[in-house]
Structure formats: C-alpha cells, structure tokens
Amino acid sequence: MTLETHPDRGGAGTPLLQAKTLTKHFPLGGGAVVRAVDGVDFAVMKGETLGVVGESGCGKSTTARVVMQLLPQDKGEMLFDGEIVGGQALTLKEYRRQAQMVFQDSYASLNPRLTIEDSIAFGPTVHGVSKAAAILKARDLLQRVGLDPARFAARYPHELSGGQRQRVNIARALALGPRLVILDEAVSALDKSVEAQVLNLLADLREEFGLTYIFISHDLNVVRFISDRVMVMYLGEVVEIGPVEELYGDPRHPYTKALLSAMPSMDPDNRTMEAPLAGDPPNPINPPEGCRFHPRCPHAQTVCAKVKPILATMGDGVRQAACHMQVPGSGHSHAPALEAAA
Amino acid sequence: MTAITEGSAALVVPPLAKSPGYWAGVWRRFKKDKVAVGAGLVVLAIILMAVFADYVAPADPTRSSMLRRLRPIGTPGYPLGADELGRDMLSRLIHGARLSLFMGVVPVFVAFVVGSVIGIAAGFFGGKFNTITMRTVDVFYAFPSVLLAIALSGALGAGITNSLLSLTIVFIPPIARIAESVTTQVRGMDYVEAARASGANALTIIRVHVLGNVLGPIFVYATSLISVSMILASGLSFLGLGNKPPTPEWGLMLNTLRTAIYVQPWVAALPGAAIFITSISFNLLSDGLRSAMDVKG
Amino acid sequence: MSTPQIPTPLVKIENLTVRFRGAQTVHAVNGVSLTLEPGKVLGILGESGSGKSVTLKTLLRLLPESRTDIGGKVSVDGRDVLALNPQDLADYRGAVTSMIFQDPALALDPVYTVGEQIAEAIVRHEKTSMKAAMARALELLELVRIPSPARRLKAYPHEMSGGMRQRAMIALALAARPKLLLADEPTTALDATVQIQILLLLRQLQRDLDMGMLFVTHDIGVAVEVSDRLAVMYAGQIVETGTVRELIRDPQHPYTKGLLAANLHGAKKGERLEAIPGAPPALTEPPDACSFAPRCKFVQDRCRAALPPAVQLGEGRVVRCILAEQALVAAA
C-alpha cells in the first residue's frame, strides 16, 4: 500500500478551498447561543497563504476547526478543489489526507506516551501504510523539519523544547502529504527567537511541497510577513479580505484600521498617543444588530445599527470589506457616490 | 510531495536507541520518594507473608487450646499472645493476611476493569451516552460505600463470594467516574484532535491515544481503594456478613476479640493494627505513584 | 533642575543571584545589577526562562523561601528588601512596592467584590474607616477609567471583562499609594485593542502619580510603548541596557540585534528572517562563559573561555559582549 500524491483536479483557477456561508453556533442552554462563526465566505487559492486575524471571540479558531471538520458546520458547505467535502467524490477520510492542521499548544498536541516517530507515523498507518514504511517516512520528515532523526526520533515530547515540538507537529501534519495546512496560532506560544526559525521553516516547506496555508494568528506582524492575502474577522463574521500589503497599507474597514493602529509602535519617538478603540471586544453570545462593529465604531450612523453590511467587492475586484462606508448608496454619509462607482 | 513507496523487499527500519521513556522517569521519581518506597516495601512484605503463610507462621492458626486463652504479647511460644480460643495470634495474623488482601485486591481489580470500560466509553463518546451512563452510575455513587456494601451483602446473603460481589459493585461507580473524567480531559487534548484530523476511527484513537494516558491515573486511584476494600471487607466480616470462623481474617478477628478488650487490650488491638498498617501502606504507595506519574514538561 | 544632582535611586539591585533548589538546581538569575530612578520606567525584556519575572518577584520577596537561595543586595526606597522582618515586609508590600500580573485571577479574589478588595487593602495600610476606604476605592476605579465605577465597585471579578479586570487589578495595586509598581507581562493575555488601552493607562498613571515602574515583557513593541530605559535579559543576566532609543536604534549585543530582527518589524515578505539558531540554555549550571555564545554568529574563542565584560558605553549604557569592548578599543 502506498500513499499516492494528489493530482490537481480543478486547475489553477479553481480555489483549493472554498467556504460558503460556513456557520457554527454553540447552544449554551437557556436559549443563549454563541454565534462563533456566522455565515463566513472565503476562498483559498492554490499555493497561497491566507492569513486570518482577529481578537478573541472573533471565531478564527472555530473556523479552523470547521474547515478541518473537527466540528461539523451547522450551515454552509466547503468545496475542496471543486468537490464537496464529505460528498461522494471526496469522503471525509479522503479529505483529511489532503487537509491537515497544526495547533497552538505544541505539548498538548503530542501524545506524551508516544515517541516522536510513532506520533508522526500514526497518520499514515491509519491510511493503510505499513508501520515500517511509516516510520521511515517519519524519519525523513524529521530531517526535513530540521530535527536529526538519529537524535530525536525515539524521544518523547517532554524531552523536547517548545520549538522542537512544534517542528514535530509540522512533520506530523505533513506525514499524510496534505495540500492544505491550517496553522492555528502555530507560532504564537514560541519565544520570538524560536518563532523566526519556525516561520523560516514554514516558508521553506511551502516551497518544497507546494503547500497552501491558512495561517491563523493574533500577531499582525507575523501575518504580514507570511501571508499573501489576509482575512479579518470580528464577532464570527468576515469584515475584510484583501492582499496583505494593500490591506495593511490602506485598511477599508474601521475595525481593520483600529486593529492595525493598536499595534505597539516600534518607534520610541513616535509612541501611540491614543487607543483606537475603547472597551473590550464583546462576546459573541448576543451580537449587536446591523453591523456588529457599530457600537465601537467611530463612524457609526443610524444605518449601521439597522442594516447588516454585505461583504462588498471593491477596487480591482481583489478586495472585499463589509462596511456601509464602502458601498455606494448604502445610506451612510461617507459612502461613495453612486455614479462614481458606476 | 513524494509518495510513500514500499518495495517488494521487506523494509528495514534501523533501530534507534530509545531514550529513557516515560516509565523510566516514573521509576526514577518514585525511587526518590522515601515514604512511597517504604510503603511499597511494607506492601511487598505483607504480600510475601500472605503467599508463604504456611512457611512463615510458627503454628497452626486454627489449633486452639483452652488452657492458653488470651495470653499477653510475649508469652513463650506465643510471641503476639493468644486469642480467645488460645490460638497463636501471630500465626492467625499471618494467615489472615491472605483473605484480607484477597478481599482488598480482587473486588478493586474487577471494578477497575469494569469501571474503566464504562468510564472510558462514556468519556470518549460523550453526549447523551455519557449522560445516561454517568447518571446511572451516580445513583449508586450517591449511597455511602459502607451502607451500600452492607445493604448488598445483606440482600445477597452472607459468605465470601457475595461479599466479593457486593464490594465489586460498590467500587465500580467511583472508578467509572474517575475514568470518565480523565478520559474527557484526554479527549479534549489536541493530540486526539490531531488523530481525528488524520482520519483515524474511534477505536484506533482509543487504543493508541487514550488508553495509555488514562489507565495510569485510573490504576493509581484504584490502588487507593484497596485499603478501603480491606476495611469494608473487615467490616462485613465483623458484622457476620463476610467470612465465617474459623478461617482467620483480620476483620473477623477484630470482631471476636472485642469481648477481650478489657482483658488483653493489646492483643485485641492487633488485627486492627494489621488493617491499619496495610491500608495506610497501600495509600502511601498510591500517593507516591500518583506524584511519580505526574510529569510536567 | 538647574543643579545637576544624581537622584538617589528608587531601586538598586546589586549582583542579584537566584537559585532554585529541587530535583535539579536552576540558576535563574546570575548576577543582575540595575537601578531605577524615582518616577522612571525600566522595561525588562526577555524570553521565557530569561529570569526577568524572577528578578521582579525578588523585589517583593514572592519566591518560595524554603527552596530559593538569593544572593546579592536589593534595596527599594532605602530599604534592604532581603533583610525585612515579617512585619516590615507586610508594611512594605503594597505600600512601597506593589505588583500587577499577567493573570488578574492571581491578584483578585473571586469571592469578594472589587470594591471590598481595594478598600481592604487601603484599611490595612492606612488605618482609615471602611467607609472612607470605599470612597477612595471609588476614586481609584475612576482613576483607572472603569466605566460606571460606582456600579463596578459592587461587581465581582468574574462579572467583568478581561480588560476591565486588568484595570481593577491596577486600581488594587495602587490602593496604598506605592512608590514602585512592578508589572509582570500585564498585557500579554489581552487582545490587541485592549492591550494598547492598558499600556496607555499605565503610562499615564505612572506619570501622574510619579511612580517608578519595572515593566517585564517579552514583546519589544510593548516595552517601547511604556519604557524610558530598557534592560535586555538572557539566561539570567542583563546583556544590554540603555535608553529605549539607544537600544532600538543602535543595538550592540548580538542577542538584542537578533530579537529586533525576529520581531519582524519591517521584515520583507518572501525574505528569510534572520533567526537566532538554537534555544536558550537550561541553566542547571551557573554560567562561566557567555551564555549566548552557542547561538551567536560572531562567537570567538574568548567568549567560551570567560564571562564577557560589562562594557560601559555611556551613562547607563552597558553591554555584556566582547565585541563592544573590541569596538571601543578600535575607536580609541
């Protein structure tokens, strides 16, 4: 039995992953519902890295778990290279060979009772690869993530440092030969000096294996460095998507703007003088009507409290933002004039 | 990504020197815990004493002598005195260890197996299955263990087999609850999520990722129940629901000697002391195991 | 201001060493010396295991005394902290030096309201009536800008959001008007938009109340926002100190340079990051050479032979690296 590589079925024009109105609610009892992910649409093109940013409660980790199908979605569907995930052509088990995930907590994501090589080899054995072949594969992968197999393969997780364990987790994710890797705060728990090593490794592996990444992080510097496009989430919804430099250079949604200006300044002569937003991000149990950001938004008007903004496409079609100020004729006084858009 | 290929020739995986694994670490930490090692040695001594009782005991534990009733500790020929029927206390304590240990270990072991299966299944599958199973278990757990043991034994009738059975039933709920809680904890770990993400089915995940991580803590907890089981078994015998005379057993000995408490208080206290020493040794041993198995980082 | 006068330092730490005994001895702090002038902020920057939090906790004697060996001298506001008797220590904690933590759960008691906790701290140090203390607790909540403070006075910690709890903890720490505030990663667990609010609040409170502050963090950006001067720690030692401007604009120690590069500020997409290879040492032995040598790309034989010299580059500007010494010699 061998694990063959996956052919590109849809061609370069078909997104590798397309999420359509993904929705995940958690009932709390007593009628309350956490609207963790509420109608999220996005696509990840082949070979690109999509960064996902947002604060706690914005639904980025739940999105990752739904995309990985560790949680079933309540509504919506996903297409992987044009095929419905969990459908006839692409079963869940088959999908899970092609999409893999790296978690934030490097220690909790390795079984403390298994050696490193056994942990990496587990996935392939599940798919019918012999134990011996899987072990050899695991050692090869350890080499590729920068850990000498002769030194590390037979060790246990607690004998490794955080950075080394995260390399093992990356190797484990690659063992099945995936095309999509979801990195859920995968470098957030590492020290800065180690984080840079792992980011370099991720960039190398993307090149070497032709991977597509969904890179989730709260660290805007890291996301800017690694991503091609960035998706900003707020209270379970997408508020803005766009190419990384355009989005960082010219944020269109007030929340994106606030998030970017909340980054500590690295310039001692030009320190931040004013916080862009007051208060904490609200929890997603009873999100506000209309635009969910309107209670904290400096530009909020009556329309924002009443009408939920659509994720409007703008510019040359590569940028999207869910803000009334970007939609002509939305009723917001800062909205572009109708004829100007036409 | 290159495919994993497997030639016709058998693959040779070069063995690597395994680093000292988890259990080596447990042993290393356990060895340093002097109290736990001491308790372990006492437990070992008691077990050996019970196994080789025929060779260790100086006299026949059932041979009575009306002339030598209730001799004090230190009487020539009776190093720990004699009981109310003139039987050698030392020999009876040594032989009594057999049944007492048996009553301590067997119900706990059976309950460990049954309780673990129930608890792990409930913890892993969660949801409604968990609710139904664990609420049923809670019904039994709600009774104080002594009361439940007495009630069950009383209903089933006196005798060793019935005592074993009732003690087993008493211990299944607490073990199932511990098993359920550690399994629920493990199920939430990212490595179980990662295993699910690799497409493994539930049984494979339980076998590879859950069992190894939950059996240890459950076992340690079960060890701590051995002393409880011994005390309960002694209690049942004391009430006449367990063992029948003349077979020596510590609980029953305590019962029959209680009338002699004013005549030979030290001799009458001996079976109690034996129960106390054994159960505290098991407890200290399981405490030591627990801290030795607690690995951080 | 016209007469140049060296102010007596609020904090003076001399050659502090902290060793934890246990299954394995850990040399957490290995000869740290630092001073803090009244009303100034020193940021202590370092990664996990660098000894930054341990140094901070020594200032309040929060380390478990039974298994900790502390050497060196620590004085705060003229008091020899390591020699305080239990009564003096109780008076010292809170009133002279007080601390805020990463996790407010460590500082706030879940069974008392925020107002009760702050008032209790005031009564303990100032012997006022509970009523007066409550009034001052309200003032404190206003000071840390908690919205509708009168209502929050009666709230329990779990009823507040993360940022609000952090503000309440700051109010509690300020209850007895300390001269020195110790901050141990107080914004690390917070969301980005809340973090900047708390940083700005701390900066302002420190200035308005003229407190000295030691701010421990792993995040350079955060340190830059609040600090006047910075001390970079590695393996239980301070490897570089200077003003924020000096350290950011002109870092001298290879570790400081590496940290700045790893912060990704201005890193170009698609370029490789200049990562520091390897990982920090385990600190089971006291250092007898440069601790950073195994990871340093400028390493020389001398680095592995002896402890690096503390090279004085200017007033309060010290670098522990032979490269700095060589540069100084070359310039002279």
**CATH tag, B40-293:** 1.10.3720.10
Lowest average pLDDT, out of A291-300, B45-54, B248-257, goes to B248-257
Can you give the pLDDT at residue A45? Answer: 94
Residues from chain B contacting residue A210 (CB–CB below 8 Å): 1
For residue A221, the surrounding DSSP H or E stretch is helix A220-226
Confidence of residue B220 (pLDDT cuts 50, 70, 90): confident
The answer to whether the beta carbons of residues A22 and A75 sit under 8 Å apart is yes
pLDDT digits 0-9 by tens, A282-331: 888 888 889 999 999 999 999 999 999 999 998 778 899 999 998 888 88
CA A330 to chain centre: 30
Per cent of chain A over pLDDT 70 is 97
Q: Averaged over C48-62, what is the pLDDT?
A: 92
pLDDT band at residue C1 under the 50/70/90 scheme: very low
Please state the three-class secondary structure of chain B as a single string. Answer: CCCECCCCCCCCCCCCCCCCCHHHHHHHHHHHCHHHHHHHHHHHHHHHHHHCHHHHCCCCCCCCCHHHCCCCCCECCECCCECCCCCEHHHHHHHHHHHHHHHHHHHHHHHHHHHHHHHHHHHHHCHHHHHHHHHHHHHHHCCCHHHHHHHHHHHHCCCHHHHHHHHHHHHHHHHHHHHHHHHHHHHCCHHHHHHHHCCCCHHHHHHHHHHHHHHHHHHHHHHHHHHHHHHHHHHHHHCCCCCCCCCCCHHHHHHHHHHHCCCCHHHHHHHHHHHHHHHHHHHHHHHHHHHHHCCCC
Give which of A53, A56, A266 to mutate to test C binding, by max C Cβ within 10 Å. A266
Residue C269 contacts A where some CB pair is shorter than 8 Å: yes
pLDDT of residue B6: 44
Q: Is the dihedral of CA A205, A207, A211, A212 positive or negative?
A: positive
Domain ranges of chain B: 40-293
Q: Tell me, what's the pLDDT at B216? A: 84
- Chain A residues whose CB is inside 8 A of the C194 CB are 55, 279-281
Q: What percent of chain B has pLDDT over 70?
A: 91
In the predicted model, what is the mean pLDDT of residues C9-25?
Answer: 90
**Per-residue pLDDT band at B1 (split at 50, 70, 90):** very low
Name the band, by pLDDT with cuts 50, 70 and 90, for residue A192: confident
pLDDT category at B8 given cuts 50, 70, 90 is very low
Query: Could you tell me the domains of chain C?
Result: 11-96+179-284 (3.40.50.300), 106-177 (no CATH)
Q: With an 8 Å Cβ cutoff, are A111 and B209 in contact? A: yes
Q: Which of A1, A70, A107 sits opposite B197 (nearest CB)?
A: A70
Instruction: Tell whether the model's pLDDT for residue B172 goes beyond 80.
Output: yes
Q: Do B19 and A154 touch (CB under 8 A)?
A: yes
Q: Does C222 touch chain A (CB under 8 A)?
A: yes
Mean of the per-residue pLDDT values for chain B? Answer: 82
Residue of chain A with shortest Cα separation from B19: A155
Strand bridging mode C68-76 / C79-80 = antiparallel
**Interchain CB distance below 8 Å, C277 and A197:** yes
Question: How far apart are alpha carbons B129 and B119 in whole angstroms?
Answer: 11
Q: In this predicted model, what pLDDT tens digit does every residue of A126-168 receive, in sequence order?
A: 998 999 999 999 999 999 999 999 889 988 888 888 899 999 9
Q: Does C48 touch chain A (CB under 8 A)?
A: yes
Higher pLDDT, C243 or B240: C243
- Provide the 8-state DSSP code for C300: -
As a whole number of angstroms, the distance between CA A144 and CA A33 comes to 44
Least confident of A331-340, B172-181, B277-286, C184-193: A331-340
Q: Does the pLDDT at position C174 exceed 60?
A: yes
Q: What percent of chain B has pLDDT over 90?
A: 23
Mean pLDDT of all residues belonging to chain A: 90
- Collect all residues with Cβ–Cβ distance below 8 Å to C70 and sequence separation of at least 6: C16, C17, C18, C19, C58, C63, C82
Mean pLDDT of B163-168: 90
Least confident segment among A256-265, B287-296, C136-145, C186-195: B287-296
Please compute the mean of the pLDDT values over residues B281-291 and round it to a whole number.
85
Given pLDDT bands bounded at 50, 70 and 90, which one contains residue C7?
A: low
pLDDT for residue C106 is more than 80: no
Bridge partner residues of C100 (DSSP): C183
* pLDDT score of B3 more than 50: no
Domains of chain A in start order, with CATH, are 17-234 (3.40.50.300), 257-341 (no CATH)
Residue C266 banded pLDDT, cuts 50, 70, 90: low
* pLDDT exceeds cutoff 50 at B117: yes
Confidence of residue B115 (pLDDT cuts 50, 70, 90): very high
- What is the model's pLDDT at position B182? 94
- pLDDT, residue B96, reads 84
Interface residue of B8, B11, B13, B26 to substitute, partner A, most A CBs within 10 Å: B13
- CB nearest to A262's CB, from C193, C249, C265: C193
pLDDT of C210 > 90? The answer is yes
Task: Give C307-320 pLDDT, tens digit per residue.
Answer: 999 999 988 899 99
Subunits with 3+ Cβ pairs within 8 Å of A are: B, C
Q: Does A220 reach chain C within 8 Å, measured CB to CB? A: yes
